[in-house]
Amino acid sequence: MIRLVGVGKTYEDGTVAVQELDLDVQRGELVVLVGPSGCGKSTTLKMINRLIEPTSGQIFIDGQDVTQADPVQLRRGIGYVIQQIGLFPHQKVIRNVMTVPLLYGESTATARERARELLDLVGLDAATYGDRYPHQLSGGQRQRVGVARALAANPPVLLMDEPFGAVDPVVRIRLQDEFLKIQRELGKSVVLVTHDIDEAVRMGDRVAVFETGGRLAQFGTPAQLLAHPADEYVEDFVGATRGLRRLTVTPIDPEHLEPLDGVSTGDLGSAIDVDATLEEALAAMLRDDKPLVGVRSGAQFVGVLTPAGIHRQLRASLK
Amino acid sequence: MLADVWGYLTDGSHWSGSTGIAAFLVQQLLLTVTAMVIAMVVGLPLAMYAGHRHRFGFLAVNVSNVGRAVPVFAVLLVLSLGPVGSEEFGPYGRAGLATLISLVLFALPPLITNTYVGITEVDNDIVEASRGMGMGERKVFTSVELPLAMSVIMTGVRLALVQVWATATIAALVAGPGLGRIITRGFANHRTYEVVAGAVLVAVVALLLEGLAVLAERYADPMRRAQRSDRRGRRTTLREEPLPEAVV
Rounded distance between C-alpha atoms, residue B198 and residue B164, angstroms: 17
**Do the chains contact at B125 and A128, CB–CB below 8 Å?**
no
Domain annotation covers residue B248: no
pLDDT of B238: 38
**B45 belongs to a structural domain:** yes
What's the pLDDT at B32?
Answer: 93
Min Cα–Cα distance to chain A from B157, Å = 21
Asked whether the beta carbons of A60 and A72 are under 8 A apart, the reply is no
Our CA-based measurement puts residue B151 at a distance from the nearest CA of chain A, in whole angstroms, of: 12
Q: Is A218 helix (H, G, I), strand (E, B) or coil?
A: strand
pLDDT exceeds 90 at position B16:
no
B222 within some domain: yes
Share of chain A above pLDDT 90, in %: 21
Please give the residue that has the higher pLDDT: either A157 or B79. Answer: A157
Q: Which of B133, B224, B231, B243 to mutate to test the interface with A (most CBs of A within 10 A)?
A: B133
Q: How far apart are CA B160 and CA A262, in angstroms?
A: 90
Q: Residue A12: pLDDT above 50?
A: yes
Question: Please, which pLDDT band fits residue A168 given cuts at 50, 70 and 90?
Answer: confident
Higher pLDDT: B41 or A19? It is: B41
Nearest CA in chain A to B130: A86
- The sign one gets for the Cα dihedral B77, B82, B87, B91 is negative
Inter-chain residue contact B246 with A171, CB threshold 8 Å: yes
Phi, psi of B152 (to 5 degrees): -70, -40
A281, burial (CB in 10 Å: exposed 0-12, middle 13-18, buried 19+): buried
Most confident residue range from B138-152, B163-177, B212-226: B138-152
User: Could you tell me the domains of chain A?
Assistant: 2-247 (3.40.50.300), 251-318 (3.90.1280.20)
Q: What is the DSSP letter of B242?
A: P
**B144 with A88: Cβ contact below 8 A:** yes
In chain B, the number of structural domains is 1
**Which has the closest alpha carbon to B205: B228, B182, B174?**
B182
Name residues whose C-beta falls within 8 Å of residue A126's C-beta, 6 or more positions apart in sequence.
A94, A115, A116, A119, A120
Q: Which amino acid is at B222?
A: P
d(CA B195, CA B201): 10
Q: A139 contacts in B (CB within 8 Å)?
A: 245
Q: Residue B138's pLDDT is what?
A: 92
Find which of A69-73, A84-88, A189-193 is predicted with most confidence, using mean pLDDT. A189-193
Q: Which residues of A touch B132 (CB under 8 A)?
A: 46, 49, 51, 75, 80, 82, 86, 159
pLDDT band at B237 (very low <50, low <70, confident <90, very high): very low
Average pLDDT of the residues of chain A: 86
Chain B residue numbers with beta carbons less than 8 Å from the beta carbon of A154 are none
Considering A55-69, B38-52, B231-245, the range whose residues carry the highest mean pLDDT is B38-52
Q: Which residues contact A124 (CB under 8 A, 6 or more apart)?
A: A93, A141, A144, A145, A148, B248
Contact A115, A97 (CB under 8 A): yes
Residue A196, beta-bridge partner list: none
Q: What is the pLDDT of residue B140?
A: 93
3-state secondary structure of A228: coil
Would B246 be classed as within a structural domain?
no
A17, A9 Cβ separation under 8 angstroms = yes
Query: Does residue B75 sit within a domain?
Result: yes
Question: Is the distance from CB of B73 to CB of B81 less than 8 angstroms?
Answer: no
For A86, which of B128, B237, B246 is closest by C-beta distance?
Answer: B128
H/E segment holding residue A191: strand A189-194
The whole-angstrom distance between A308's CA and the closest CA on chain B is: 36
Asked if B129 and A86 come within 8 Å (Cβ–Cβ), the reply is yes
Q: How far is B28 from chain A (nearest CA, A)?
A: 37
Q: Does ipTM come in above 0.85?
A: no
Q: What is the pLDDT of residue A265?
A: 66
Alpha-carbon gap, residue A242 to B5, rounded angstroms = 87
Contact A170 B148 (CB under 8 A): no
What count of CB pairs under 8 Å joins A to B? 96
Average pLDDT over residues A55-70: 87
Provide, rounded to the nearest whole percent, the portion of chain B with pLDDT above 70. 92
pLDDT at B204: 94
Q: Is the pLDDT of residue A244 over 80?
A: no
| Range in A91-100, A212-221, B128-137, B236-245 with the lowest mean pLDDT | B236-245
Size of chain B, expressed as the number of residues it contains: 248
- DSSP label of B243: P
Q: How far apart are CA A147 and CA A82, in angstroms?
A: 9
**If you average pLDDT over residues B109-136, what whole number do you get?**
91
User: What was the pLDDT predicted at A239?
Assistant: 76
pLDDT, average across residues A145-166: 88
Mean pLDDT of A47-66: 89
What is the least distance, in Å, from the CA of B53 to any CA of chain A? 15
> Angle B146-168/B21-53 helices, nearest 10 degrees?
150
Calpha distance A317→A143 (Å, rounded):
35
Which of A127, A194, A116 has the alpha carbon at shortest distance from A151?
A: A116
Residue B247: the pLDDT is: 39
Collapsing DSSP states into helix, strand and coil, what is residue A34?
strand
Q: Which residues contact B4 (CB under 8 A, 6 or more apart)?
A: B193
Q: What is the pLDDT of residue B236?
A: 45
d(CA B80, CA B212): 32
* pLDDT tens, residue by residue, B20-77: 888 899 989 999 999 999 999 999 999 999 999 988 888 777 877 777 777 888 888 7
Residues of B in contact with A76 (CB under 8 A): 133-134
Lowest-pLDDT range, A28-42, A235-249, B155-169? A235-249
Q: Check: CB of residue A161 under 8 Å from CB of residue A81.
A: yes
B-chain residues within 8 Å CB-CB of A131?
229
- Centre a 10 Å sphere on the Cβ of residue B68 and count the other Cβ atoms it contains: 12
High-pLDDT (> 70) share of chain A, %: 97
Here the CATH number for the domain that contains residue B7 is: 1.10.3720.10
Q: What angle do CA B141, A137, B136 make, to 5 degrees?
A: 20
Closest-approach residue (CA) in chain B for A84: B125
Which residues of chain A neighbour B222 with C-beta distances below 8 Å? 90-91
Answer with the residue of higher pLDDT: B214 or B96: B214
Q: Look at residue A97 in the predicted model and tell me its pLDDT.
A: 92
| Helices A93-103 and A139-151: angle between axes, nearest 10 degrees | 20
Spell out which residues of chain A touch residue B241, defining contact as CB-CB under 8 Å. none
Highest mean pLDDT among A78-92, B67-81, B223-237: A78-92
Residue B85 has pLDDT above 80, yes or no: no
* CA B227-B233-B239 angle, 5° bins: 165
> Which of A96, A99, A122, A129 should be substituted to probe chain B, the one whose Cβ sees the most B Cβ atoms within 10 Å?
A99
Residue B131 domain boundaries: 2-239
pLDDT digits (tens, 9 = 90+) for A85-99: 688 999 999 999 999
* Whole-angstrom distance, CA of residue A195 vs CA of residue A157: 21
Predicted confidence (pLDDT) per residue in B187-222, tens digit: 899 888 999 999 999 999 999 999 999 999 888 888
| Widest CA span in chain B | 79
pLDDT above 90 for A237: no
pLDDT band at B156; cut points 50, 70, 90: very high
Burial class of residue B26, CB neighbours in 10 A (0-12, 13-18, 19+): middle
Instruction: Give the pLDDT mean for A253-270.
Output: 75
Whole-number Cα distances in Å, B51 to B43, B55, B68, B159: 12, 7, 20, 19
Quote the CA–CA distance of A220 and A32 in Å, as a whole number: 10
Identify the H or E element spanning B230. Answer: helix B222-239
How many residues comprise chain A? 319
Inter-chain CB proximity A76 and B133 less than 8 Å:
yes
> A224 falls in which pLDDT band (50, 70, 90)?
confident
Give the 3-state secondary structure of residue B5.
helix
Give the C-alpha separation, B48 to B70, whole Å: 24
DSSP B142: I
The contact set of A with B (CB < 8 A) is 46, 49, 51, 72-78, 80, 82-91, 99-100, 103, 123-124, 128, 131-133, 135-136, 138-141, 149-150, 159, 168, 170-171, 174
Cα separations (Å) of A69 from A48, A74, A275, A297, B136? Answer: 11, 6, 43, 50, 14
Cα A305 to the center of its chain, rounded Å: 29
Residue A215, SS3 per DSSP:
strand
More confidently predicted of B55 and B86: B55
Q: How confident is the model at residue B227 (pLDDT cuts 50, 70, 90)?
A: confident
Banded model confidence at residue B240, pLDDT cuts 50, 70, 90:
very low
Contacts of A140 in chain B (CB under 8 A): 245, 248
pLDDT at position B5: 87
Place A174 in a pLDDT band, splitting at 50, 70 and 90: confident
User: Are residues B148 and A51, on separate chains, in Cβ contact within 8 Å?
Assistant: no
Tell me the residues of B at the A interface, defined by beta carbons under 8 Å apart.
123, 125-126, 128-136, 139, 143-144, 147-148, 222-223, 225-226, 229-230, 233, 237, 240, 245-246, 248
Whether B234 shows a pLDDT value over 70: the answer reads: no
Q: Could you tell me the pLDDT band of residue B241, with boundaries at 50, 70 and 90? A: very low
